[in-house]
Structure 1
Amino acid sequence: MHTKQLTDILLVFLIIFCFTSCNHDDVNFPIFTFNENGECEPASLTPISSARFEEAVVGYGWKHVHTYEINPDGTCQTQDYYKDLDGAGPIQYYVESHSSLKVYMYVDAYPASGFRTVAYTFSDGNRLLSNQNTVFQILSVNGDTMEILDWLGIRAGGTEIYGYSIYRRMTNQELEEVQKTYHTDLSDIHELTVSVQENPLIISGKETEFDVLSSNGPFTFKPAREGSCEITSQGNHVKVKLLSNGVYLTGYDRLRHCEVVIFSTDEELEPEGTDIYDFTYTEITVNPEKKLFAPDGHEISYDLGSMEVIPRKEYAGSILSQYAPVALLVVDTNGQARYLRMNSGKISFKDLLPQEELDQLTEGTDGTSLTYKLELITPDCEVFQVLPFNITYKK
């Protein structure tokens, strides 16, 4: 009996502890205001002297405890800002001297955990300024706890987000662990760039090559489709041999990536056995007034008209998903090619027939024609079908 009563009492205390430890009622939230420029400021602030700043803040690492977003009315939200936030995390600080600050963070865009070294001055209003921008503003320092006002970001509509953050002074061991975890110098990160000027790159043969101009150490390139090409590299020089038409390469180093898309007009790379679609038209005509006409004689709008791919009767289901055209190559009889995006399987005549080509055609003799090969492309950049298209000038 006594054991049951004791268990019940302990259970009640446990419930009370869990309830109180899971909310933030113990936080004494300050009040903030917003000035005419939309900048957040504390409603009241006790100045911190330079001597006090040097004594209590400089030389220490500061570990993030909580951040609370500040509402437009100057009050604070009670849920931690980072609790359900994807793609970002809190910042840790090391105020290594009276003029140098280490900022430790995770950057989802790279992605990488690293640091930036910031030159700062301790200024009026307890602000740490770098290039006249506030890194953060100290609200108070009491023992091992520092409270700050910091800028968190900008919403899609342009509204700036501010936070009230609580930090705890790190032990030497904690600081060493942070420095090991966030070891990448984010101020020395390079984009992974290559010497390819056009993207997509359209070549006339089966082979091409390019140089890696900048990277963050060793890199590698991989095709989206295995077996679509052979890749060899030596130093910063990369050679690619196409085994089929259309290669989507992704280059990686330890922090960044880039894409290189390559197509070819080499007829030996044209696909076979995937004759899945037909276009609305395989031929049209144009008159001296540059009006377009379908084979049945009805006029087609040059500015608004389009033609679309239509699956052949024997194809349906998953194969149409696998070979869903999103773009095409327009290849003329001289082997010159243009890359065009499609819109839900449609291509506009204005894109397909540039005005200058239409002008040249209508300046010729009756019966002059332009012939193209329309090469359909999947989302992973595979050319899977070639369709003919012809436009003839008729007076």
Structure 2
Amino acid sequence: MIPYGRQSISEDDIARVAAALSGDWLTTGPTVAEFEEQFAARLGAKHAIAVANGTAALHLAMLAAEIGPGHRVLTTPNTFLASANAAAFVGATPDFADIDPVSLCLDPDALAEQWQPDTRAVVAVDYAGQTADMPGIAKIARRHGALIIEDACHAIGGRFEHDGQTWPVGNHPWADMTTYSFHPVKTMTTGEGGMIVTNDDVLAGRLRLLRNHGMTRNPEDFTGLSTDEVFGEQGPWYYEMQALGYNYRITDLQCALGLSQLQRLDAFIARRQEIVARYNDAFADVPHLESPGLRNPADAELTSWHLYTVRIDFAALQTTRTEFMTKLRERGVGSQVLYIPVHLQPWYRETYGYGPGKCPNAEAIYPQLLSLPLFPAMTEDDVATVITEVRRLMEET
């Protein structure tokens, strides 16, 4: 069966990990620093902080920004749980603004309508690889002095156009921090892993401290445990815990894979774009099926495309999404639904009183969403199979 997503591991990837495995460091070693340096260099950004996973990246971003009780964080309902959960982790109130029906990303107009006096931050998610309207979102957030976190877990390596200039995701004026995930279904992988990118020196320092138990071994940062001779001695073993941090470290083995995958990222994105173009052509004339839309047509060759999410009018076809997915699977084609609107999840309903009607666009579009296979290792035969079986099933249903 062709899955909706899958990692691509080469012999070079395996060799790079094997070399790390036979080295002196398995974790918190030089390969971590090298991965961070190369990742930041690719974007032209000042800082890249590697962490255990994408959820840890979002959590640390909240902590570094000193978001907590009494603060509200606005995000999109069309995302994975972690984009909103990170606000709850720190005691803030996760809240939701609706999506625009074309890109399925956070709508700046809806953001402005949902804004409340206690809103401290916005988490803007680049759904399916398409960049959210970061300039539009920033215009609203900056007016209120709020911080902006771009959740770019779907958009690694992507770019976008604004006012005739092309900007890389992860290094532009409209986000304070950008987070990434390296889960196996993402465009590049470290198995599990994540990254936070920022150009702010203060935020970067906090992120590094909080990633490792709030502990520092840097003499320049020491405040001194005590004036006592015994406890105040700062020998080679000495360290200080200066904040309540977490063990969100990433290993050298993971970063070795990340370094190898980073070298393949451009090829990964190019292949994804090729497949998306073939899908778009093949599905253009299919009734009741709508291919992914672009908020800005100029981004057609800049988007990194993590997902190929179509909208199918299952009601018009007189079938259910479950029946459609089951029949596709029987024909060798996997699919997935991404995502259930987060504000409708039981915990969010029970904890914050959210419910239907809060985000009407997301709620109306959700029943039609279906993500088809999209990953670089797909062969031409795989792509042809997906096209043939989707078209055939649409005609038969």
Under a length normalisation based on structure 1, what TM-score does the superposition of the two structures give?
Answer: 0.19
Structure (1 or 2) with the greater helix fraction: 2
Flag the structure with more relative contact order, 1 or 2, with Cα contacts below 8 A and sequence separation at least 6.
2
Structure ranking higher in strand proportion? 1
TM-score by length of 2: 0.19
